[in-house]
């Protein structure tokens, strides 16, 4: 079991500063799961996308597939090294981490 934190980002970077706060406090081995409108932060070429790309070697990035699909986003448009998970994968991530913090 990991001793690190799982961060949940559910707001778009266009409507909330939560992702930026998350990135300031996320430690090197942290995991971030993007869900709901938070999936927009993963688009290549955006300010958050560029930042996440530059940190993808130190952070583990995940996205909930159903939220990608609901927003019509293609995996090919996301930053590299993002792992797509289903609902069971979401539960597995929660169980595998010491604690979970949501960013709104």
Q: Domain with 43 in it: what CATH number? A: 3.40.1260.10
pLDDT at residue 54, rounded to an integer: 92
Indicate the pTM of the whole model: 0.93
Q: Give the ranges where the chain is alpha helix by DSSP (H).
A: 18-25, 47-54, 65-70, 87-96
pLDDT at residue 100, rounded to an integer: 95
Q: State the chain's mean pLDDT as an integer.
A: 93
Do the Cβ atoms of 59 and 52 come closer than 8 Å?
A: yes
Per-residue CA distances from 52 to 44, 65, 87, 91 (Å) = 9, 18, 23, 23
* Dist CA 85 CA 75 (whole Å): 12
What is residue 43's DSSP assignment? B
Domain count, the chain: 1
Q: Sorting pLDDT into bands at 50, 70 and 90, what band is 1? A: very low
- Only one residue has tokens 């010491």, namely 98
Question: Could you tell me the residue range of the domain that residue 52 belongs to?
Answer: 5-103
Query: Which residues, in sequence order, are CB contacts of 39 under 8 Å at separation 6+?
Result: 63, 64, 67, 68, 71, 73
């Amino acid at each position: 079991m990991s001793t690190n934190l799982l961060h949940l980002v559910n707001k778009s970077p266009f409507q909330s500063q939560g992702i930026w706060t998350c990135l300031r406090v996320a430690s090197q081995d942290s995991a971030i799961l993007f869900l709901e409108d938070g999936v927009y932060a993963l688009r290549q070429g955006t300010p958050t996308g560029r930042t996440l790309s530059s940190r993808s070697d130190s952070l583990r990035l995940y996205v909930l597939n159903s939220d990608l699909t609901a927003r019509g986003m293609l995996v090919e448009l996301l930053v590299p090294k993002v792992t797509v998970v289903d609902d069971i994968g979401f539960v597995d991530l929660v169980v595998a981490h010491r604690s979970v913090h949501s960013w709104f």
